[in-house]
Structure 1
Amino acid sequence: MASVKKLISELTRRGPHKVLRGDLAIAGVPGAVYTPRSGTDLPGIALGHGWMTGSRQYRKTLSHLASWGIVAAAPDTERGPLGSERALASDLVTTLQIISEVRLGVGDITVHSRRLGLVGHGFGASAAVLAAADSSPVTVRAAGLLYPAPTSDAVLPAAHNARVPAMILTAPDDLDSITSNALPLRNALHHDLSPDALAKGAEENPVSLRVVEKSTARGFAEGFSVRGFLGDGANDRTTQRMTRAVLTGFLLHQLTGDKKYADFSDPDTALGKIVPLDPTTVADETDPLTRLLSR
């Protein structure tokens, strides 16, 4: 089996598939969808954008995922300064419905309804959590939460109800602050099962919290954005390259079952310089209500 270091190196580069781009608006939701040139029963994800951004700031990321065989779509809703994470969550679920029910390309590309995941950046990570907690009528199999930012009080209780394997990526020294809720989010998503439940065959959903070295929370957004124009640290290529690699490996394992990428789901395994964080070594400043719900 290839080493983690080698897999990371491979996943920083584009995958073997040629990529097609489509318009979600044809199906009723403004946004973009990127697919491999061909394939059936593919995995698919919906990506929630950061605050004051849109799918344009994630084109290379969406295309990167598609080059590795993952259909990747991003709605262009709730882009204003008063955007609602609840409304975006609803649109993420609708987006998953679209890509799993509509034949894509020229009708020869399909997404398997049991291979659906959510990805969110910043504000969009909150939307992804809300969508994972109440994703009916679709079933979400994984959530990639990238540099999550706190939004409303509803997010952490929703995370407690989102029984889904998750990976949280955060920047150094940005675990729990006015701009990041990575640590409280991990603690709300994580569920320790009782010995009785494990004996009955229940499976724990792994929740990993990883620190991306030399990354910035807002650097994952690509190209020009209003926030970047205001000097908010957007468009950092190192952040984008490493985040894409780890996200791709996680999704390939969770959505396709490819055991080659199992380490990307293991909360205790270091992925090169992207190291796992042991939450027990960090002070938990989660609010009392969420701590109670997470017991």
Structure 2
Amino acid sequence: MAKPKELLEELAHPGPHEVVRGNLALAGLPGVVFTPRSGLGLPGVAFGHGWLQPPGRYRALLSHLASWGIVAAAPSTQRGPLPSHRIFAADLRATLDLITGVRLGPGGLSVDPAKLGLAGHSVGGGSAVLAAADDSRVRAVATFAAAQTLPPATDAARKITVPGLHLAAEGDLVTPAAGNAEAIAKAWGGPVQLRLLGKSSHLAVTEGTHWSQRLLHGKPQRRTQRVVRALFTAFFLTELGGSDKFRALLEADVKRAAIEYDPGLERAA
């Protein structure tokens, strides 16, 4: 059996699938979708962007998921300074509708409606929690630097019984772990894990440059992006794809991503 470090290294690299990028606007919702070239009954994930961030700042993350056989779509809505978290959650659910109900390619590509997940960064993470609480189709939720929302994501978390993976940045001055990701994780109604990413910041998961960096603390960090891609991929392949190959990675501390809270592992110990 491969060691967690070896699994992390494997998943940090692109998977075996050729990736195709599409435009959600063609189906009626602004945004992007990344898919493998082909595949039937694939897992599908809707991703919520952070405050003021365009979905393009997560291109490599979405493409990475697609390279491992996961359809990943991100709506480009609620990008103003005063977003409605409730509406953004509805847009994430609508994104799941699109990737399961609309033809995504010329043929030989489909998403299994029983293999759906949600993910997000900052307010997109908090909105993903809101969306999951109101959508029985969702089977897994992953966030990075999740922000509190209105209505509160912590209240929504209590209603969620599917697995959750929450990654928090140690140096996050925008959504500090203790008041956001940790609170959401400890309110979670189902299996949950919280990891703290060392030497990381609020914008570490984003890519390229953007004017919002003048307002928000942090900047893109390749080491953080590498770990997030690997852990998100392992999580969704395990919880949506039904594979146990990468479960050992999800159950172990890894460099720069220590497990801070996991009631399941504590009981097992």
Moved more, 252-261 or 178-187: 178-187
Does the alignment pair 1:141 with 2:139? yes
* TM-score, reference length from structure 1: 0.84
Distance 1:166 1:230 in 2: 29
Q: Which residue of 1 aligns with 2:161?
A: 163
1:247 is matched with: 232
Partner of 1:215: 200
> Residue in 2 aligned with 1:292?
none
Structure 2 CA distance, aligned partners of 1:59 and 1:48? 12
Q: Distance in 1 between matches of 2:179 and 2:99?
A: 30
Cα separation, partners in 2 of 1:127 and 1:12, compared to 1, 3 Å: same
Rounded to whole Å, the distance in 1 between the matches of 2:82 and 2:54 is: 14
CA RMSD of aligned residues (A): 2.0
User: Whole-Å Cα distance in 2 between the matches of residues 255 and 181 of structure 1?
Assistant: 25
Shift of 1:88: 0.8
Structure 1 equivalent of residue 6 of structure 2: 6
What count of residue pairs does the alignment treat as equivalent? 262
Q: Secondary structure at the match of 2:212?
A: helix
**What's 2:253 paired with?**
270
1:85 offset after TM fit, Å? 1.2
In 2 relative to 1, CA 279–18 (structure 1 residues): closer, same or farther, beyond 3 Å? Answer: closer
Segments of structure 1 that go 5 or more residues without pairing to the other structure are 192-204, 281-295
* Structure 1 residues 272 and 235, CA gap change in structure 2 (3 angstroms): closer
Aligned runs of 1:16-165 on 2, under 5 Å?
A: 16-135=16-135, 139-165=137-163
Identity rate, percent: 45
Within the candidate set 238, 243, 260, 2:245 is matched to 260
Equivalent pair of 2:123/2:147 in contact (CA under 8 Å): yes
Whether the 8 Å contact between 2:12 and 2:230 is mirrored in structure 1 is: yes
Structure 1 runs of 4+ aligned residues shifted over 3 Å read 173-180
- 1:172 maps to what in 2? 170
- 1:261, distance to aligned residue in structure 2 (A): 1.4
Which structure: larger Rg? 1
Structure 2: gaps spanning 5 or more residues: 264-269
Partner Cα distance (1:67, 1:277) in 2? 29
Question: Do residues 185 (structure 1) and 170 (structure 2) align?
Answer: no
Query: Cα distance, 1:157 vs. partner?
Result: 0.9
In 2: Cα distance, 1:23 partner to 1:55 partner: 11
Mean CA deviation greater in 104-113 or 148-157:
148-157
C-alpha spacing 1:57/1:173, structure 2 compared with 1 (3 Å): closer
- Seen in structure 2, the aligned counterparts of structure 1 residues 118 and 249 have a Cα distance that, compared at 3 Å, is same
2:222 corresponding residue in structure 1: 237
Structure-2 residue corresponding to 1:293: none
Q: CA–CA distance in 1 between the matches of 2:64 and 2:146? A: 21
1:178–1:14: structure 2 CA closer, same or farther, 3 Å change rule?
closer
The letter of the residue matching 1:186 is A
**Distance in 2, Cα, partners of 1:178 & 1:250:** 20
Contact 1:227/1:234 (8 A) holds in 2: no
Alpha-carbon distance, 1:29 to partner: 0.5
Seen in structure 2, the aligned counterparts of structure 1 residues 37 and 158 have a Cα distance that, compared at 3 Å, is: same
AA of the residue aligned to 1:94: A
Amino acid at match of 2:219: A
**Inter-partner Cα distance in structure 1 for 2:138 and 2:222:** 29
Deviation at residue 177 of structure 1 after TM alignment: 4.0
Encode CA deviations 1:141-179: one digit per residue, 9 max, x unaligned. Answer: 100011112232522111111221000001126598499
Question: What TM-score do you get using the length of structure 2 for normalisation?
Answer: 0.91
SS of the residue 1:21 aligns to: strand
